[in-house]
Chain A
């Protein structure tokens, strides 16, 4: 065993980790607003919102992520007419993919609020928008937060799939270093520990939030 290999290559690994975080943050930041719009559309009574949004959510959720990543990698240059780089391509694929999952979380969160709450708001003369904003969404978001955080953790792990189109994220750098150093056990064990620590911290936060949410009920 030669654990020194980690220290020697720390700058490369950190560079990879930075890209991993960047990808996860860009993907979550892009997918969340899109997910809210899709989730609300899925609850809309207007068919021209409901059907496209539902088709989108069902289609994306039936396709493996890695396929979406490949797909955009080959499709993006055709759409834009020029090469866009693997990071951008991966980021777009993640946004498109995760938005469908966020949409379902948002939809379920809003549906978890009883119709009676909506009626109570409306009965006092509040508009639909005010009822949504002051009564439904504050409660729905509180219910959604633990699931949203869990989904972001999954997203964080999934960023490693960007490896396949050559994005130099954490796992890619680990394997690049391994190709030069031939220290697979040490390197991949370290990678596993790093992913574990980050995700464990994330799920601890989720548990705290769940407890807090439970108290407010």
Chain B
């Protein structure tokens, strides 16, 4: 489904991704963790073409992201993304936040887009917030609207960039529950997060990144119990208190 092949990226002279290779099958959930500045978010943005990379190739559902013949806008419409700071449009109601892209990109009628948006708000558990502005919502509610907004495009893949890092502790669960629900529904997901409980429960693979490299990958409990590299041990001991 997603084939990341030897991807390297530089910001000027600074190399931020070093020959990253990773394969993600349809329906899998992959969790990426690692310290800040390790290139996790950058890698995520390379997958939907929000960032340019100089070397390597990323193929999403058979389409090469940076190929000249690729319509990146069509590709992005099939890849949902959720951001650390929600990035809801503050000048629109939650409902309009969700219906904008379906109307403009999928050319859905207003009525149809609204019905879809309401069903998604129902799914993330906050239909009563539909006509409020993002400024009136709690962090957890905002992130759930943001997830609904991404789902409204009926994406084949969902990318989550630290979706719970900006939330108060008691709101993290309500967002994670929605995400767990998605994995169980068979969505292909890449999640950058430090929520190791979430990783344990649903991840098919866990990747540890540092300084632009994939240092370690694991598929099960052994990733937490016996990490091979010293760097991973160090990192895990700090976040798994």
Contacts and interface: CB of A to CB of B under 8 A. Distances in A.
A117 interface: yes
Given A116-B85, A135-B89, A138-B91, A124 B105 contact: yes
Given A124-B100, A125-B73, A142 B91 contact: yes
B90 interface: yes
B50 A119 contact: yes
Interface in B69-100: 73-74, 76-81, 83, 85, 87-91, 100
Contacts of A126: 73, 100-101, 104-105
B135 interface: yes
A127 interface: yes
B59 to A, nearest CB: 19
B194 interface: no
Given A116-B85, A119-B50, A217-B135, A124 B101 contact: yes
A131 to B, nearest CB: 10
Given A125-B76, A126-B105, A127-B73, A120 B89 contact: yes
Sorting the interface of chain B by its residue count into under 10, 10 to 19, 20 to 34 or 35 or more gives 20 to 34
Contacts of B87: 114, 116-117, 119-120
B41 to A, nearest CB: 11
Contacts of B153: 124-125
A117 to B, nearest CB: 6
A139 interface: yes
Interface string A102-123: 0000000000001011011111
A123 B80 contact: yes
Given A130-B104, A134-B100, A124 B77 contact: yes
A134 B90 CA distance: 12
B174 to A, nearest CB: 21
Nearest to B100: A134
Nearest to B133: A216
10 contacts: A116-B87, A120-B88, A124-B77, A124-B81, A124-B149, A125-B101, A126-B73, A126-B101, A130-B105, A135-B100
Interface of B: 45, 48, 50, 73-74, 76-81, 83, 85, 87-91, 100-101, 104-105, 133, 135, 149-150, 153
Interface of A: 114, 116-117, 119-127, 130, 134-135, 138-139, 142, 216-217
